[in-house]
Structure 1
Amino acid sequence: MSRWMNPKKVLCIVYVAAMFVVAMDATVLNVALQTISQELDVPPAASGILNVGYLVSLAIVLPMAGWLGDKWGTKRTFLLALAIFTGASALCSFADSLTSLTLFRVIQGIGGGLLTPVGMAMLFRTFPPQERAKVSRSLILPIAIAPAIGPIVSGLMVEHFTWRWIFYVNLPIGIPALLFGLFWLKEHKEPNAGRLDVPGFLLSAPGLALLMYALSQGPLHGWNAPRVWIAGLAGMILLAALVKVELSVKQPLLDLRLLGNRLFRTTGFIAMCASAGLLGMLYVFPLMYQNALHVSALETGLTTFPEAIGLMIASQLVPWTYPRLGPRRVIIMGLLATSLILILLSMVDANTNPWFIRCLLFGVGIFLGQTVGSVQIAAFATIPPTSMGRASTWFTVQNRLGPAIGLAVLSGILAAVGTGSVNAAGDMEPNLMAYRAALLGAAGFLLIGVGFACWIRDSDAAATIRKPVASKPVKEQASPVES
């Protein structure tokens, strides 16, 4: 292998490409749902099963992702997942009914559920702790760009071509990444991976799937709907049983003992709060901008895009701010600043200058981007390489639950306040207060994250912070970043 094609660069290229298509797929479908339902001749409400099927299948395979990577090899598992996701994208583009499209989306969810934790484990095994601040630039790129351009790409494809193109766009990225990784990606297996924890899988897979179903369907059908509360209750019972089982197993599928690591536990909760606040805002604000302020879908997408630009810039700042300020300060300042911005965002109305709104969203990207990057770096600072697969799985599970909880809570706020009101003339008009309350709820998630961040000790993450000059005593090295 040439010097340019060293294992670290190869891994970054394959990881970014794979995560890009997965992250974009999370937002590209929503804009096209109405068009899909019309062409396939189904009610618009029925098309929601496309997202539900994806989320449920993802939740089923997610718990075993770490074990599969350790047992079969990270390269083999990652590329198989990428092949499944890319192949299912091609199948989705040829679907001729809602049933077939749902089936192919379920297959997509299987690939997507395996990709993220296995890819994260590969990254953190390959890069030592002191290099992870720099590699955060690779971590943040798919998170920043893909979800933001998803609605824009979807709108353009639906308007000028056909909804099938929203799945075609995955192929020119996924196929080259698959071939590139096949030839140049390095394999890694854990010799002590052990056997599959069957009881853990039989409890975690349906437990997470039922809970994700309830969280996604509750805002749509009401929390009193029997299928919603029964699914949620059954999911929580299974997950409660899972806790008891996993603590008694020598090699559990979901290693709950990792939560005994203070830094890993704290950053995991912060990641949940940050993702709930960010994804919740990206859900509520476009609704407010279109439904209450009567702005077009395309202009809404272009207005929210500065948030992605801010995230990109933040990824370049993290390698500078993280070692100088320490994770505790970066995370707390980022969450507080973003909370303030969301409060300001809740005050906009039809007379607000669009460029002021874009500047606010740019600020969200700048501040929350540094928080997300710092959390990912610090979370695995004290995790040994042998536990990286299961740690990345658990971290991904929390990151998936965060947005689901955030959307459920914020949708509940919208429903409780009411997105419509009757004016003096007796006509229905949008209720701006409902959207404002939901945005304040998104800020509330971030403030909860601030509370968790106060428990972080920079000394716990010392391995990920750039070392000072060698002439200084060891005790003095930690002092500039200790809180």
Structure 2
Amino acid sequence: MSSWLSSKRVLCIVYVAAMFVVAMDATVLNVALQTISRELEVPSAASGVLNVGYLVSLAIVLPMAGWLGDKWGTKRVFLLALAIFTGASVLCSSANSLASLTLFRVIQGIGGGLLTPVGMAMLFRMFPPQERAKISRALILPIAIAPAVGPIVSGLLVEYFTWRWIFYVNLPIGIPALVFGLFWLREHREPNAGKLDVSGLLLSGPGLALLMYALSQGPLHGWHAPQVWIAGMAGIVLLAALVKVELSVEKPLLDLRLLGNRLFRTTGFIAMCASAGLLGMLYVFPLMYQNALRVSALDTGLATFPEAIGLMIASQLVPWTYPRLGPKRVIMMGLVATAIIFIMLSMVDASTNLWFIRALFFGIGIFLGQTVGAVQIAAFATIPPASLGRASTWFTVQNRLGPAIGLAILSAILIAVGTGTANAAGEMEPNLMAYRAALLGAAGFLLFGVGAACWIRDADAAATIRKPAAKTPAKEQAAPAES
């Protein structure tokens, strides 16, 4: 391997490429749902099963991702997951019915559920704590920029080509990343991975799947719908049983003991709040802009796109701000500033200047981008290498639950306030107050994160703040912090 093509650079390239297609896939489908429903001749409401199937399959396999990587090898599992995701994209593009497309989306969810935690564990094993601020560029790009790009890409492809192209776009990224990783990624196995925690798998997979189903379907069918509340209650019961079982197992599938680490526990909660607020805002604002202010879908995407530019700049700033200000200040300042911007977005009306809106979204990218980078760097600062697989799995579970909780609560706010009001002629007029209340709710999630950030101690993340020595062995890691 050449000096330029180092193991670290290879891993960053493959990680960013794989995570980018998975993250973009989370938002690229939504814009095309109406077109897909029309071409497959099914009701618009029925197409929602495509997202539900993906979320449920992802939730089922997600808990076992860390163990699989430790047991079978991170390279093998990561590339297998990438091959499943990319292959399922081909199948999705060729589907000729809603049933077949749903099945292929389920397969896609299996690949996506394994990719994120295994890739994150690989990244943090390769880079010691003191070097992790430098890789913030690799962390932010797929997590934050891809969801912002997805709606624009989807709008252009649906308008000028066909909805099938939203799945084709995964191939030029996924296939080269797969080949590149096959030849140059390094394998890693944990010798003490232990046996599969079958009881944990049987409780966590269905429990998370049922809870995700309830959170995603509650706003659509109503929380009193039997299929919603029964699924939600069953999910909660299974997850409650999971807590008792996992605390008694020596090698649990979801290691709840990691939550005894204050820094990991706090940053995980902040990440959940940040993802709930951001994804919730990206759901509510386009609805308000299109339904209430009568702006086209493409123009809405272009209005929100400056967020991605801000995130790109933020990824360059994190290696400078993180060691100088410390994770606590970076996280708190970023969350407070972003919450203020969300409040300003709630005041937007038809007369608001478009460039002012774009400037606000640019600011979201700048501030929240640094928060996301700082949270991920600090979260694993005190996690020993042997626990990184399970830690990344737990961190990913929280990050998946965050948007689901955020969308459920903000959708409930929209329904409670009412997105439409009847005028004197009996016609329905859009109700801006509903969208404004939901955007304030998104800001509330960020403020919860600010409260949690008060418990962060920069001393706990000292290993990630130190400047790296001239030659630092990759195996050196910080000891776990006290609870």
CA, structure 1 residues 468+206, in 2 after alignment: closer, same or farther (shift >3 Å)? closer
Classify the secondary structure of the residue corresponding to 1:429. strand
CA distance in structure 1 between the partners assigned to 2:325 and 2:160 by the alignment:
48
State the match for 1:361 in structure 2: 361
State the match for 2:264 in structure 1: 264
Q: Does the CA contact (< 8 Å) of 2:130 and 2:468 recur in 1?
A: no
CA distance in structure 2 between the partners assigned to 1:248 and 1:20 by the alignment:
37
Listed one character per residue, the Cα deviations across residues 130-177 of structure 1 (whole Å, up to 9, x for unaligned) are 110010111111123211111111111111111111101101110000
Q: Does the CA contact (< 8 Å) of 1:81 and 1:110 recur in 2?
A: yes
- Name the aligned partner's letter for residue 404 of structure 2: A
CA distance in structure 1 between the partners assigned to 2:360 and 2:177 by the alignment:
35
- Which structure 1 residue ranges, 4+ long, deviate > 3 Å from structure 2? 467-470
Is 1:144 the counterpart of 2:144 in the alignment?
yes
CA distance in structure 1 between the partners assigned to 2:296 and 2:354 by the alignment:
13
Is 1:397 the counterpart of 2:397 in the alignment?
yes
State the match for 1:339 in structure 2: 339
Is 1:198 the counterpart of 2:198 in the alignment?
yes
Aligned residue-pair number: 470
Q: Does the CA contact (< 8 Å) of 1:334 and 1:367 recur in 2?
A: yes
State the match for 2:61 in structure 1: 61
After superposition, where does 1:270-281 map in structure 2 within 5 Å?
Answer: 270-281=270-281
Once the two structures are TM-superposed, the CA of residue 467 in structure 1 deviates from its matched residue by 3.8
CA, structure 1 residues 469+97, in 2 after alignment: closer, same or farther (shift >3 Å)? closer
Q: Does the CA contact (< 8 Å) of 2:223 and 2:229 recur in 1?
A: yes
Once the two structures are TM-superposed, the CA of residue 424 in structure 1 deviates from its matched residue by 2.9
Q: TM-score by structure 2 length?
A: 0.96
State the match for 1:161 in structure 2: 161
State the match for 2:20 in structure 1: 20
- Name the aligned partner's letter for residue 462 of structure 1: A
Q: Does the CA contact (< 8 Å) of 1:341 and 1:360 recur in 2?
A: yes
Structure 2: which 5+ residue stretches go unaligned? Answer: 471-483
Deviating more after overlay: 343-352 vs 155-164: 155-164
Once the two structures are TM-superposed, the CA of residue 469 in structure 1 deviates from its matched residue by 10
Once the two structures are TM-superposed, the CA of residue 384 in structure 1 deviates from its matched residue by 0.2
Deviating more after overlay: 143-152 vs 18-27: 143-152
State the match for 1:327 in structure 2: 327
Once the two structures are TM-superposed, the CA of residue 118 in structure 1 deviates from its matched residue by 0.2
State the match for 2:380 in structure 1: 380
CA distance in structure 2 between the partners assigned to 1:252 and 1:142 by the alignment:
29
Is 1:249 the counterpart of 2:249 in the alignment?
yes
CA distance in structure 2 between the partners assigned to 1:404 and 1:167 by the alignment:
23
Structure 1: which 5+ residue stretches go unaligned? Answer: 471-483
CA distance in structure 2 between the partners assigned to 1:450 and 1:143 by the alignment:
20
CA distance in structure 2 between the partners assigned to 1:455 and 1:181 by the alignment:
39
State the match for 2:417 in structure 1: 417
Listed one character per residue, the Cα deviations across residues 276-296 of structure 1 (whole Å, up to 9, x for unaligned) are 000000000000000000000
CA distance in structure 1 between the partners assigned to 2:20 and 2:450 by the alignment:
29
Listed one character per residue, the Cα deviations across residues 161-208 of structure 1 (whole Å, up to 9, x for unaligned) are 111111011011100000000000000000000100000000000000
State the match for 1:4 in structure 2: 4
Is 1:44 the counterpart of 2:40 in the alignment?
no
State the match for 2:187 in structure 1: 187
CA distance in structure 2 between the partners assigned to 1:336 and 1:20 by the alignment:
27
Q: TM-score by structure 1 length?
A: 0.96
CA distance in structure 1 between the partners assigned to 2:138 and 2:467 by the alignment:
22
Once the two structures are TM-superposed, the CA of residue 425 in structure 1 deviates from its matched residue by 3.2
Deviating more after overlay: 143-152 vs 19-28: 143-152
State the match for 1:90 in structure 2: 90
- Name the aligned partner's letter for residue 405 of structure 2: I
State the match for 1:70 in structure 2: 70
State the match for 2:474 in structure 1: none
Listed one character per residue, the Cα deviations across residues 366-410 of structure 1 (whole Å, up to 9, x for unaligned) are 111100100000000000000000000000000000000000000
Once the two structures are TM-superposed, the CA of residue 426 in structure 1 deviates from its matched residue by 2.6
State the percentage of identical aligned residues.
Answer: 87
Is 1:229 the counterpart of 2:238 in the alignment?
no
Deviating more after overlay: 119-128 vs 136-145: 136-145
Once the two structures are TM-superposed, the CA of residue 427 in structure 1 deviates from its matched residue by 1.8
Classify the secondary structure of the residue corresponding to 2:305. helix
State the match for 1:101 in structure 2: 101
Classify the secondary structure of the residue corresponding to 2:309. helix
CA distance in structure 2 between the partners assigned to 1:290 and 1:308 by the alignment:
20
State the match for 2:209 in structure 1: 209
CA distance in structure 2 between the partners assigned to 1:320 and 1:158 by the alignment:
40
- Name the aligned partner's letter for residue 65 of structure 1: A
Q: Does the CA contact (< 8 Å) of 2:131 and 2:468 recur in 1?
A: no
Once the two structures are TM-superposed, the CA of residue 57 in structure 1 deviates from its matched residue by 0.1
CA distance in structure 2 between the partners assigned to 1:333 and 1:468 by the alignment:
26
Q: Does the CA contact (< 8 Å) of 1:117 and 1:396 recur in 2?
A: yes
Q: Does the CA contact (< 8 Å) of 1:346 and 1:439 recur in 2?
A: yes
State the match for 2:479 in structure 1: none
Listed one character per residue, the Cα deviations across residues 23-49 of structure 1 (whole Å, up to 9, x for unaligned) are 110011011111111111111100000
Classify the secondary structure of the residue corresponding to 1:29. helix
CA distance in structure 2 between the partners assigned to 1:142 and 1:199 by the alignment:
33
State the match for 1:441 in structure 2: 441
Once the two structures are TM-superposed, the CA of residue 468 in structure 1 deviates from its matched residue by 9.7
CA distance in structure 1 between the partners assigned to 2:265 and 2:144 by the alignment:
24
CA distance in structure 2 between the partners assigned to 1:343 and 1:425 by the alignment:
33
Once the two structures are TM-superposed, the CA of residue 411 in structure 1 deviates from its matched residue by 0.1
CA distance in structure 1 between the partners assigned to 2:466 and 2:321 by the alignment:
11
CA, structure 1 residues 231+469, in 2 after alignment: closer, same or farther (shift >3 Å)? closer
- Name the aligned partner's letter for residue 332 of structure 1: M
CA distance in structure 1 between the partners assigned to 2:67 and 2:329 by the alignment:
34
Listed one character per residue, the Cα deviations across residues 67-115 of structure 1 (whole Å, up to 9, x for unaligned) are 0000000000000000000000000001011110000000000000000
CA, structure 1 residues 60+453, in 2 after alignment: closer, same or farther (shift >3 Å)? same
CA distance in structure 2 between the partners assigned to 1:436 and 1:467 by the alignment:
44
State the match for 2:456 in structure 1: 456
Q: Does the CA contact (< 8 Å) of 1:118 and 1:389 recur in 2?
A: yes
- Name the aligned partner's letter for residue 341 of structure 2: I
Q: Does the CA contact (< 8 Å) of 1:144 and 1:309 recur in 2?
A: no
State the match for 1:284 in structure 2: 284
Q: Does the CA contact (< 8 Å) of 2:31 and 2:155 recur in 1?
A: yes
CA distance in structure 1 between the partners assigned to 2:224 and 2:397 by the alignment:
26
Q: Does the CA contact (< 8 Å) of 1:420 and 1:430 recur in 2?
A: yes
State the match for 2:301 in structure 1: 301
State the match for 2:120 in structure 1: 120
